[in-house]
Amino acid sequence: MDIEQRKLEELSMLKSYLVPHPPLIVPGVGAGDEIPDTRRAYARVASEAAAVHPDTAVVISPHSVLYGDYIHISPGKSAKGNFGAFRAGHIKFSVAYDDELAKRIAECAEEDGIPAGALGERDPALDHGVMVPLYFFKSPRIVRVSLSGLPLVEQYRFGMCIRRAALSLSRRIILIASGDMSHKLKADGPYGFAKEGPAHDEFVRGCARDADFRRLLSVDPALCERAAECGLRSFVTLAGAMDGMRVESRVLAYEGPFGVGYLTAAFTGDGKADSLLPAIRSDAEARLSRIRGGEDPFVRLARRNVESYVRTGKPTPLPADADPALLSRRAGVFVSIKKDGNLRGCIGTILPTERNIAAEILANSVSAAARDPRFDPIAPEELDALTYSVDVLSPPEPVQSKEELDVLRYGVIVTCGRRRGLLLPNLDGVDTVDMQVSIALQKGGIREDEAYSLERFEVVRHT
């Protein structure tokens, strides 16, 4: 048996764990018994992991340094942290980093064209997404990895890089994917209730129970957004790290006593299997094809214009056979662009500035793609991953109080002097009028204690 095969067999027992990170589970922060099933499951998986005698634990946290287009790997030789943010500063952590493995993971990611590395660390202190697992798991060294807004398939491929890097250094690793499930399980919870919360958690639990990683990557991004979860991408990275292996899985605990879902699951690699990556890519292409096939003329015009502008620097000419609904009237229009369920650009006009709706879409789709100050301009390689929506606005009308608003039916405009903020209706995560108005005020740079006026408008949303 050659050396590489022995390395593979040594690492074929790679163990991975999907764990939540509620600080209350740590004695001294909470009593330690607020989430009993989770605490027992944590003790069990930590004992199993210790029996493997890992060289390094790779810990993936959604609360580490986060970028939309870059996966951050914490640099340096060590790091410290404490639970001071949870009134328990006496509980302290000091960990050694496996700097060699961290650098090798970044090298593997670069080889595969995945933007990842040690750049841009804003705060070296350990976050609670890392510290809660480390209270239970013991390892001589760790690698601390963040998440990103990259497409799920890229997060999966990054997980593959983690295992390949460990294999190249003959590291015996465990992988700890830290993340909570939906934060919207109870009306009296800190984030309220959304029906998508339980639906999301049931979906993820099923994927974990069956080790069905292909199905995991088919999740509807809108479901995740409305469920307000923070663990899916950690789980996807774990899945990628186990690509090409037969996987045995166990769900050890799930509970949500405070309106947040806490899922604990264990995965063991046991032998080789075919890579899921080709099937995952094929599924993604099929989903996008279905979306493209369902576009109406408004959305199709926005997409084709963005693709033309990004690729050639020139907008697309208005088609000769443009739908009459695009040409027959004027209106304000907002164009929104999403990538893997995350906003990638949104620009619009409250009142019409062009000769018709078609021209309004052409102007605002270019602005959403290239001039939204919150994002970098869209690059050509992103185009195939984008989805679009077009909102056509009715003329705004003044209202005297919040009682005349409805977050599902009306968008809102707040005005104070020359400052103005707008929020569209029926947005994921915006469930109350107070929340809608508060966000609009923030967008306009208006304090809530200032005198401001309210207007409302309706939209026809094309998706």
Assign domain 394-463 to a CATH class.
alpha beta
Question: In the CATH hierarchy, which fold is given to the domain comprising 294-392?
Answer: Glycoprotein, Type 4 Pilin (3.30.700)
CA distances from 220 to 159, 193, 225, 317, 340 (A): 21, 19, 9, 33, 9
What is the per-residue pLDDT for 459?
A: 94
What SS3 state is found at 41? Answer: helix
Q: pTM for the whole thing?
A: 0.83
CATH 3.40.830.10 holds for 3-282: yes
399 vs 196: CA distance, rounded Å: 32
Any idea where the domains of the chain sit in the sequence?
Answer: 3-282, 294-392, 394-463
What is the per-residue pLDDT for 151?
A: 87
387 vs 371: CA distance, rounded Å: 17
**What burial letters (b/e) apply to 38-56, b meaning 16+ CB within 10 Å?**
bbebbebbbebbeeeebbb
pLDDT (tens place) for every residue of the chain, 463 residues total: 455 555 554 554 579 999 999 999 999 998 767 899 999 999 999 999 999 999 999 999 999 999 988 999 999 999 999 999 999 999 999 999 999 999 999 999 999 999 999 999 988 999 999 999 999 999 999 999 999 988 899 999 999 999 999 999 999 999 999 999 999 999 998 889 999 999 999 999 999 999 999 999 999 988 998 899 999 999 999 999 999 999 999 999 999 999 999 999 999 988 889 999 999 999 988 888 888 888 999 999 999 999 999 999 999 888 777 889 999 999 999 999 998 778 899 999 999 999 999 999 999 999 999 999 999 999 998 898 899 999 999 999 999 999 999 999 999 999 999 999 999 999 877 889 999 999 999 999 999 999 999 999 999 999 8
Residue 55, phi then psi, degrees to nearest 5: -75, -35
**Crossing angle of helices 152-168/277-293, nearest 10°?**
170
What is the per-residue pLDDT for 3?
A: 53
124 vs 434: CA distance, rounded Å: 36
Within 182-246, residue ranges assigned H as helices are 196-210, 213-216, 221-227, 232-241
339 vs 69: CA distance, rounded Å: 11
What is the per-residue pLDDT for 12?
A: 46
